[in-house]
Structure 1
Amino acid sequence: MSGTPVTPFSTRTMNLAHLVEQQARRLPDAPAFVWGETVWTWREFDRRVKAMAAVLAHEGGVGKGDRVLVQSQNCNQLFESMFACFRLGAVWVPANFRGMPDDLAWMAELSGARAMICNAAFPEHAAVGGPELETRFAIGAAQFGPDIDDLMEKYADTVPPLASVDRDDPAWLFFTSGTSGRPKASVLTHGQLGFVINNHLCDLVPGVTETDASLVVAPLSHGAGMHQLMMAARGAPTILPAAPRFDTGEIWSLIERWRVSNMFTVPTILKMLVEAPEAMTADHSSLRYVIYAGAPMYRSDQIKALEVLGPVLVQYFGLGEVTGAITYLPPRDHSAGDDMRVGTCGFPRTGMQVEIQGEDGAALAPGETGEICVTGGAVFAGYWRNSEANAKSFRDGWFRTGDIGHMDADGYVYITGRASDMYISGGSNIYPREIEEKILLHPAVTETAVFGMPDPKWGEIGVAVCVLEEGHSLDAVALDAYLREKIASYKLPRQYFFWDSLPKTGYGKLSKRVIRAELEERLAAGGSAA
């Protein structure tokens, strides 16, 4: 016998849809998903996921590797579509439901989606096309396609096999934005998401079981979807508010009724919850982990939340590209006293390595300011069909977050700035370039600069400083109305200012730093800054 025997090495991993199947076997009659007065058990939820997967496969021709675009506000079908896609080995492509049809059109084009599931509330979004988009399904009665629930009845007893998947097979295209404002698609894989599930369970909600319950107060298409995915891994039910708009009374009522133990939110929502009168009367003793992310939290708001809720706050810092898993600050590191490390976003997550790097990629010493970079199992597989962005975002195996900060001697990370002009309002990343481009389409505007300014409620708000073409007139009300037809409402500037000219650098470029400083001076002087 000659030669060296080759040891087989498998890259196959668990199909994430198997999580639902597992719970249907182990906890068939336990609640899986609750929406208003409707409760689906794990047996029922698993059956619906399989039926939806059958619809996608038989009616939409969706198979392994195909992308399925989903446009919907929170509902059970949105969550079911995640697992239905996973089951087929297809790629889930959820949109931010607050986006405009043009935003969805770009997602359809970039992803090459084969099928779309669109809520009946968004007929204009359903009309967008794509190079490979052939089939549209509706959530609810609609003119643009059959109601997917009706088709699921037809396939109620059909069980599509779990697709065999490798660790690097795409599972989710998580859309984020670059500094240009045009969305990029982060490729999240089955193997990476499996790591993140375990990482989140270890760091954010240790000890969670099927006896817990988790409340949804953010879009399931993004961070909340990841949070509820890990809840499914433990058999804990997902509780979805029934009100179409955020209602603090309903939230506190659901926490009390379902003995909610954890929820994922952003600082703005958390501030509203703890300041609501119901927070003082509802029984929230079941809460163990209130996780906030997406934006810095003002120290005064932290103290208020700790006084109302007790030691239950968990902060994490992460991007969609790393599925949130960069650093975390557990309850034991939160304090209403002087012993808290004010301003930190915590220390590196389990199984993740974080460095502060200089421009040459070398690790910097504690206290030195540089770019926050990360490597480990939670890092995504790159941007979909965007080699240029990949080249800029990775260096020697490190993902470059674009956030600027430092690390102290104990390993706690502090974010001190951003490499781009991005600002965060109400937990949403907003990129000025996109807004500026839309403003400049107005015939009366010749120059503009959009940037974030501190705000006690939203963290930051967008402000736009504009210069008008000679002979034209325009006011804030008219410009705001004009923009509402072109960009999502959460991206709209909250304040508009009109100046005769904007400061520029010696190279003829607008200087936002100087513009911001001048605006602050005008406002401090008590003027209108106009």
Structure 2
Amino acid sequence: MNIAHILLKAHKLHPERAAVSIGSKTLYNYRSFYERVRYLAASMTAELSLNVGDRVAIAMPNHPEYLVIRYAAWFAGLSVVPINAKLHTLEINYMLEHSGSKVCFISSKLQREGDFQNSAKVEVVDVDSDEYQDMVNPGQEIDMVEVQPDALAWLFYTSGTTGKPKGVMITHHNMLIGAMSYLVDVDNISAADSIIHAAPISHGSGFYDLPHVMRCANQVIPAGGQFDPSEVLGLIQDWDGVTMFLAPTMIKRLVQSQESSQCSLRGLKTVVYGGGPMYVEDIKRALDVLGPCFVQIYGQGESPMTITVLSKTVINNTSHERYEKRLASVGMAQSSVSVTIFGDDGLPATKGAIGEVLVKGAVVARGYWNDDAATRATWKDGWLHTGDIGFFDEDGFLTLIDRSKDLIISGGSNIYPREIEEVLVAHPSVNEVACVGQFSEEWGESVVAFVVLEHQCLADERDLDEFCLSRIARFKRPKYYHFVDSLPKNNYGKVLKTDLRQLLSIKPLN
């Protein structure tokens, strides 16, 4: 099987339908998209001398050719290595070298802004060059290469917040099951719908390319190549049946922009969110401003977008007696996986008991690229150990408490930062917050809250302390509050708590 078969089928079913658009303009229909993919696949084998199984990297911002390159690579039996274009040159070169990529596709935008220096000894092709244009022009043709279901399709490098990034091996079968899971568990798609790739295609948004191609829908690349709230609100008015995958931090910015602009949302169908904690107060505000369009997913690079889902039906069922608790959860297990909780004793936990989240299923990756030790440490007895801490309620809804590495132990008691953050973010003066542990000779660790205030809002430690004491146990409240202009985030919008802990190790608060 080859995941590129879904494009071949779409081309045959609806050749004239819009396939790839830039801003408000259709660039390729499914006929021209497929032909461009086929010509590039032939050039990859003939001109770039790539063989079945070779790795092809894409290190550029969202661009229409991103989609062409990855389908062409799959068509030719190659594996794709997606690299976030905002990474540092050293990080990009590490991934190129570690993956053994033979070719790296970039855009001139990356060359100008990222000062990309190729030290990995790979051939670099600029999609904005005449060379690339020659490669996609009509010429040689090849048949689609058939590959085994467990052949590597997508070598995704983790964010590397705890060390060097690891290459997660996603197979053609993994990707097919993941796409089908979207249609079963997340949302339905029609050929009249569109997905706006406002978040990086190198990450979750790119994974949702697949079910939209399966349904012959349109894929829209913002003209700016990245997330801009005002541009996204404009595109929602230009296209119908709009879906987006956004990180919670992006949704906050979109909500703020819509509150001030009051744009028409007639084209908005679905916003899928994930990739970081969405606090209850934030999703309530988003529902008020953007309407009943939200679906939450929980996944990891090792089980991309496919562990649990909190459906529109649940999110919009405000009359349910456990509505608030369900809104704070990440939903129920998706159909393609089994999810369980294991306690510290290595045994399945009872309902309501806190432990590590484990997952297995046909969508879960097969391991890490060239890292047997890390693979053995993460996959045990068929289960993927996620490193996330949570519990199931009586109805099967999973609530995540924190990453195991973020747990704070103070005076022998376990303190979960997410619980404190949920409280603090409900304060009207707080925009963002992140809690971490700081070494304490007396308690082992003390809780430190890094706080970003709303614009022109005033609050001090006393205000926040009183707010916490009215809502959580005294021992859980932060010992210190550190007010900052912004929180450090990676290129996908996740807060980098490792950076905050490192800051405290250099300059502790007292």
TM-score, normalization by structure 1: 0.75
**What residue identity is the alignment partner of 2:357?**
I
Asked whether the equivalents of residues 108 and 129 of structure 1 are also in contact (C-alpha less than 8 Å), the reply is: no
2:306 aligned counterpart, secondary structure: coil
Alignment-derived partner of residue 292 in structure 1? 273
Identity of aligned residues (%): 29
Matched residues in 2 for 1:245 and 1:394: separation? Answer: 34
Change (3 A) 1:278 1:409: closer
Three-state SS of the structure 2 residue aligned to 1:323 is: strand
C-alpha contact 2:199 2:226 (8 A) present in aligned 1: no
CA contact (8 A) 2:20 2:29 kept: yes
Cα distance change, pair 488–408 in 1 and its aligned pair in 2 (3 A): closer
Say whether the 8 Å CA contact 1:53–1:87 is kept in structure 2.
Answer: yes
Structure 1, residues 354-409: CA drift from partner, whole Å, max 9, x if none? 00002343110011111000011110010000011101101110000000111111
Residue by residue over 1:431-467, the C-alpha shift from the partner in whole angstroms, topping out at 9 and shown as x without a partner, is x9xxxxxxxxxxxxxxxxxx9846578xxxxxxxxxx
- Please report how far the alpha carbon of residue 334 of structure 1 lies from its aligned counterpart in structure 2 after TM superposition: 1.1
Q: Does 1:174 align with 2:156?
A: yes
Indicate conservation of the 8 Å contact 1:104/1:125, yes or no.
no
1:107-186 alignment, distance < 5 Å: 107-123=95-111, 126-130=116-120, 133-141=121-129, 147-153=131-137, 156-178=138-160, 180-186=162-168
Is the alpha carbon distance of 1:246 and 1:500 closer, same or farther for their aligned partners in structure 2, counting shifts above 3 Å? closer
**Residues in 2 aligned to 1:375 and 1:49: alpha-carbon distance in whole angstroms:** 33
Which residue of 2 is the match for residue 369 of structure 1?
A: 354
Q: Which amino acid aligns with 1:381?
A: R
Give the whole-Å Cα distance in 1 for the aligned partners of 2:178 and 2:357: 19
Matched, 1:254 2:252: no
1:77 deviates by: 1.0
1:238 is matched with which residue: 205, 216, 219?
219
Residue 7 of structure 1 corresponds to none
Give the SS at the match of 1:92. strand
Aligned equivalent of 2:290, options 301, 309, 315: 309
Q: How does 1:385-404 map to 2 (within 5 A)?
A: 385-404=370-389
Deviating beyond 6 angstroms after TM superposition, the runs of 4 or more aligned structure 1 residues are 422-425, 487-502
Counterpart residue type for residue 152 of structure 1: V
Alignment match, 2:62: 74
Deviation at 1:105, TM superposition (A): 1.1
- Which residue is 1:205 aligned to? 187
Unmatched runs of 5 consecutive residues or more in structure 1: 1-12, 433-450, 458-479, 503-514, 523-530
Report the counterpart of residue 5 of structure 2 in structure 1. Answer: 18
Aligned pairs (5 A) from 1:219-234: 219-234=200-215
Counterpart of 1:24 in 2: which secondary structure? helix
> What secondary structure is seen at the aligned counterpart in 2 of 1:359?
coil
Q: CA deviation at 1:303?
A: 1.1
- Structure 2: runs of 5 or more not aligned: 408-416, 422-433, 437-447, 455-485
Other-structure match for 2:471: none
* CA-to-aligned-CA distance 1:275-303 (integer Å, 9 cap, x gap): 22478643323433211001111212211
Give the letter aligned to residue 372 of structure 2: S
Query: Are residues 455 and 57 of structure 1, via their aligned partners in 2, closer, same or farther at CA, if it must alter by over 3 Å?
Result: farther
Residue 167 of structure 1 aligns to a residue whose secondary structure is: coil
d(CA) in 1 for partners of 2:135, 2:167: 30
2:389 is paired with a residue whose SS is strand
Change (3 A) 1:44 1:399: same
Is 1:353 the counterpart of 2:338 in the alignment?
yes
**Which has the larger displacement, 49-58 or 68-77?**
49-58
How much does 1:159 deviate?
2.5
- Describe the shift of the 1:274–1:415 C-alpha distance in structure 2 as closer, same or farther (beyond 3 A): same
Contact 1:215 1:260 in 2 (8 A): no
Listed as ranges, the matches of 1:78-97 within 5 Å are: 78-97=66-85
Alignment check: 8 A CA contact 1:126 1:136 kept: no
Q: Which amino acid aligns with 1:111?
A: S
State the 1:120 CA deviation: 1.8
Structure 2 residue matching 1:89: 3-state secondary structure: coil
Q: Which amino acid aligns with 1:127?
A: Q
Match in the other structure for 2:469: none
The whole-number CA distance in structure 1 between the counterparts of 2:88 and 2:74 is 26
User: 35-44 or 96-105, which moves further after superposition?
Assistant: 35-44
Matched positions, count:
436
In structure 2, the CA distance between the partners of 1:295 and 1:168, relative to structure 1 (3 Å rule), is same
Q: How far apart, CA to CA, are the structure 2 residues paired with 1:64 and 1:489? A: 31
Q: Residue by residue, what CA displacement relative to the aligned partner does 1:13-41 show, whole Å, maximum 9, x if unpaired? A: 2x111211211111111100110334211
Secondary structure, aligned partner of 1:122: helix
Match of 2:398 in 1: 413
Q: Which residue identity lines up with residue 39 of structure 1 in the other structure?
A: L
User: What TM-score, normalized by structure 2, do the two folds share?
Assistant: 0.78
The answer on 1:193 being equivalent to 2:175 is: yes
